Structure 1
Amino acid sequence: MSLVRAGLSLDVRVPATSANLGPGFDTLGLALSVYDELEVIVLEGAALEIEVTGSGADEIARDASNLVVRSIAHVFADVGVEMPGLRLSARNGVPHGRGLGSSGAAVAAGVLAAKGLLRGIAELDDRALLRLATELEGHPDNVAPALFGGLTIAWSGEAGPRHKKLLVHRGVSPLVLVPGYTMSTSAARSLQPQQVPSEDAVFNVSRSALLIAALTQSPDLLLDATDDRLHQNYRAPAMPETDRLVRALRAEGFAAVVSGAGPSVLVLCDGPGRRLDAVALADAVTDAPWEHRMVAVDVQGGTVRNRAEATSSRS
């Protein structure tokens, strides 16, 4: 019998993320104001009910193999508590298979849901949340901004995965260009060589350091700061339209990069007005339609709240 009481109801919200940001391969991530929302209700017994709407709904599992469910179960197993029966209602706003962190968002949502369910039974701090999410996702660069918001630097060491959250300069205005086709992260990773020239590694180290300064202090440096030699060129043959769009935007001075593993394009403009110019250029150089999303940097990250407490606080 689970220690979690039946009837407990939670609301979870997790932002989309864009990883790499050009040179910061497997290290830098940015939370964006596009969200997955999850309602969790504890049931009697061991029943599992799943409802999904929004992006990817037709392909998402409705059983224990569901990634959110697996993430919740992973946390419960880690703390040695039996998982209760659950009803999950997911509303997916994060596009699936587009390089905007949909799997990281699902993992973060599950980990945060577990934290809410285990409140008063087992306490989970930020380091534990990141460790558990990274064990599921494999890399911390997407789950860190999904959990904590803002710009995150993620790394792993002897103490496990760690992160540092930074506030982004208010002049940075993100634009996301989303195509109608998808890209597999594993397929994108398979195109990269195991070794790269030392001059390319040095190039990316310098640009990654510059990118932190550009995003936090000097948005006028974003074009130079988002240049990359480690992964985007190797992956370009798998998504030629994405590569074409990135090159066209950069040629006109826009800090455009492949978002995560692609195929979406992230443009980091140095002012909101510049996003309109980027959209006009994108429409002019692409054959197929791309969805334009003028988003903000999410500074809060993932949230979980008890619905009963939220209701009582408003009354």
Structure 2
Amino acid sequence: MKIKVPATTANLGPGFDCLAAALSLYNEFEIEVVPNAKFKLEIFAEGVNAEDISKDGKNYVYKGIKKVFDLCKTQVVPLRIRIKNNIPLQRGLGSSATAYLAGVLAGNILCGEVLSEYEVLKLAVELEGHPDNVVAAMYGGLCICNAYDDKIRFIKLQMPKNLIVLTIIPDKKISTKKARKVLPKSVEFKKAVYNVSNTALLVSSFVTKKYEFLKFATEDFLHQPYRKKLMPWMDKIFDICLRNKALCCMLSGSGSTIVSIYKDSELNNDLLEKISFEINKFISCEYKILRFSNKGTEIRQ
């Protein structure tokens, strides 16, 4: 079977651990049962950061598969897994979520689809540790998530087609674990209120296409001010993009990628060249022009 899972950008500024949107960048996985094989597991990876992808039982795709087999109290069959990795690792674009989700989906199919769609989602979220990236990767669009009382609740909204997403990917990995360690244990009540109001305004701005509010609606007081200790260039990149026609800028997930949103008529090659020239003066980055993807995970058997 072949599984194609989109990258995701989580938080979108103020929506910490509750907002994520799918992007038009994909990881592709091929899972093959090899009957009577002399090996238990064979993993091949190509593409971005392929050398950093585990080729043994620690592989996230395999972990997802094994989790389902364990629930079914069945031994995992000999497998050959091929990974075409297009999403950079540890850059805040949901690479781990694509792997866990692909693994759980594949494991469920191999076990005879014993799990419901919701159970598949919940299992992938348990492996990932938080719902936002997994939900958006599975369903596409903009997903508003709530994980409370051991239940996952979410609503998917269609993202506008006339927006371009410029992903600015620094040549520096930031692990989610490390990025969470710098967060405070508590914040001022006033700052929490700002984030709640900005999250509501942000979602409404996308729905109504009132993009003039995006710059203010993406301001965050819960995580970005603390995470810039790990990414001191963050404010500089925000400033450069906002001075060059960006509707808004935000950290993608826990970083290090920064996402800048434009109207599709505004971002052209000349402007991108100008932006990249300014940013590359102080940090080396890769630039990808993407769109929001309203399509989630695709499976071909």
The residue that corresponds to 1:263 in the other structure is 256
Tell me the amino acid that sits aligned with residue 300 of structure 2.
R
Q: Please give the alpha-carbon distance, in whole angstroms, between the structure 1 residues aligned to 2:68 and 2:137.
A: 17
Q: Secondary structure at the match of 1:82?
A: coil
The residue that corresponds to 1:230 in the other structure is 222
Tell me the amino acid that sits aligned with residue 238 of structure 1.
L
Tell me the amino acid that sits aligned with residue 203 of structure 2.
I
* Mapped contact 1:249–1:282 kept (Cα < 8 A): no
Q: Secondary structure at the match of 1:240?
A: coil
Q: TM-score, normalised by structure 1?
A: 0.88
Equivalences for residues 182-193 of structure 1 within 5 A: 182-193=173-184
Q: Secondary structure at the match of 1:136?
A: helix
The residue that corresponds to 1:173 in the other structure is 164
Q: Select which of 27, 31, 42 maps to 1:49.
A: 42
The residue that corresponds to 1:304 in the other structure is 299
Q: Please give the alpha-carbon distance, in whole angstroms, between the structure 2 residues aligned to 1:275 and 1:159.
A: 45
Q: Select which of 44, 62, 68 maps to 2:61.
A: 68
Q: Please give the alpha-carbon distance, in whole angstroms, between the structure 1 residues aligned to 2:83 and 2:173.
A: 21
Q: Secondary structure at the match of 2:198?
A: helix
Give aligned pairs, total: 295
Q: TM-score, normalised by structure 2?
A: 0.92
Cα shift readout 1:28-76 (whole Å, capped 9, x = no counterpart): 0011111111111101256211101112211222111111100111122
1:286 CA displacement: 3.6
- Structure 2: any 5+ residue segments left out of the alignment? none
The residue that corresponds to 1:158 in the other structure is 149
| 1:281 corresponds to 2:281 | no
* Mapped contact 2:141–2:292 kept (Cα < 8 A): yes
Tell me the amino acid that sits aligned with residue 116 of structure 1.
I
Q: Please give the alpha-carbon distance, in whole angstroms, between the structure 2 residues aligned to 1:74 and 1:230.
A: 33
Q: Please give the alpha-carbon distance, in whole angstroms, between the structure 2 residues aligned to 1:245 and 1:28.
A: 22
Equivalences for residues 133-144 of structure 1 within 5 A: 133-144=124-135
The residue that corresponds to 1:215 in the other structure is 206
Q: Secondary structure at the match of 1:215?
A: helix
Superposition RMSD in Å: 1.8
Q: Secondary structure at the match of 1:26?
A: coil
| 1:34 corresponds to 2:25 | yes
1:82 CA displacement: 3.2
1:161 CA displacement: 1.7
Q: Please give the alpha-carbon distance, in whole angstroms, between the structure 2 residues aligned to 1:140 and 1:229.
A: 21
Q: Please give the alpha-carbon distance, in whole angstroms, between the structure 2 residues aligned to 1:223 and 1:289.
A: 25
The residue that corresponds to 1:91 in the other structure is 84
Cα shift readout 1:225-261 (whole Å, capped 9, x = no counterpart): 1111111011111111233212332455630101111
* Mapped contact 1:154–1:163 kept (Cα < 8 A): yes
Q: Please give the alpha-carbon distance, in whole angstroms, between the structure 1 residues aligned to 2:243 and 2:191.
A: 21
Check 1:224–1:253 CA distance in 2 against 1; reply closer, same or farther (3 A cut). farther
1:174 CA displacement: 1.2
The residue that corresponds to 1:128 in the other structure is 119
1:158 CA displacement: 2.8
| 1:249 corresponds to 2:241 | yes
- Structure 1: any 5+ residue segments left out of the alignment? 1-9, 307-315
Check 1:279–1:60 CA distance in 2 against 1; reply closer, same or farther (3 A cut). same
Q: Please give the alpha-carbon distance, in whole angstroms, between the structure 1 residues aligned to 2:163 and 2:287.
A: 17
Q: Select which of 171, 194, 199 maps to 1:203.
A: 194
* Mapped contact 1:279–1:292 kept (Cα < 8 A): no
Q: Please give the alpha-carbon distance, in whole angstroms, between the structure 2 residues aligned to 1:293 and 1:248.
A: 16
Q: Select which of 103, 107, 115 maps to 1:114.
A: 107
Q: Which moved more, 1:133-142 or 1:54-63?
A: 54-63
* Mapped contact 1:178–1:290 kept (Cα < 8 A): yes
Cα shift readout 1:111-168 (whole Å, capped 9, x = no counterpart): 22223323xx234333112200111011001111111111111111235122211101
